[in-house]
Amino acid sequence: MDLSAVTNWGTVGSWILTAVAWLGRAYDKKKRKEQVVPDWLRSLLRSDVFMGLLILVGLCGSIGMLLRPKDCAHFENANPQSLQIVRGKFYKNEVIEIDGKMFDHCDFENVTFKYNGTALYGFNESVTHGRDFRVTTDNQIIGSSISLIRFLQKAYPNSTVTLQQDDGYGHPVP
């Protein structure tokens, strides 16, 4: 389980605990005459510090997920530490090998991205300029995928070819 999954589940758990604690407080106020809730749980539910901590943990998790870069890694399970980070570089009219690299705040103009499928890659807050971009490869499997896309574009010129990657469980990767 990667860090984002732990953060997601931790945030969900925190919000569920907060809701249960809040409902427990409301229930306890109505049933004070009956001893339904143990004393230790009653004192915990009445604690403003406990409620504050639950809310704080939930908010921190939510904020962390909102601030997570949306286009950070080509593969959701990419380990950013395994990628060579390239920061703030401007590329123009070049061939750029992207295998094993994370391009952070880079600018690309009229470039060729060379992807051979030997390692993961990523783009974070990067910008493209111009109208001419190419993707090349010397990997036969990736080349096969490119051939399929070309075939569909030529065979059905009035149709839109939509490319989508899934995470291995059928869920689309943004």
Could you read off the pLDDT of 112-151 as tens digits, one per residue?
Answer: 999 988 888 888 888 888 777 888 888 888 888 888 888 8
Centroid of chain to Cα 141: 26
pTM comes to 0.49
CA distances 20 to 42, 50, 169, Å, are: 12, 12, 31
122, exposed or middle or buried, with CB in 10 Å at 0-12, 13-18, 19+? buried
Q: What is the pLDDT of residues 62-101, one digit of tens each?
A: 666 665 544 444 444 455 568 899 999 999 999 999 999 9
Q: How far apart are CA 113 and CA 142, in angstroms?
A: 13
Helix (H) / strand (E) element for 104: namely: strand 101-104
Take residue 70 and report the two structure tokens written for it.
């949306």
Q: What is the pLDDT of residues 141-170, one digit of tens each?
A: 888 888 888 888 888 888 887 777 777 777
Whole-number pLDDT of residue 31 = 57
Q: How far apart are CA 168 and CA 174, in angstroms?
A: 13
Q: How far apart are CA 167 and CA 47, in angstroms?
A: 42
Which residue, 21, 26, 23, is CA-closest to 44? 21
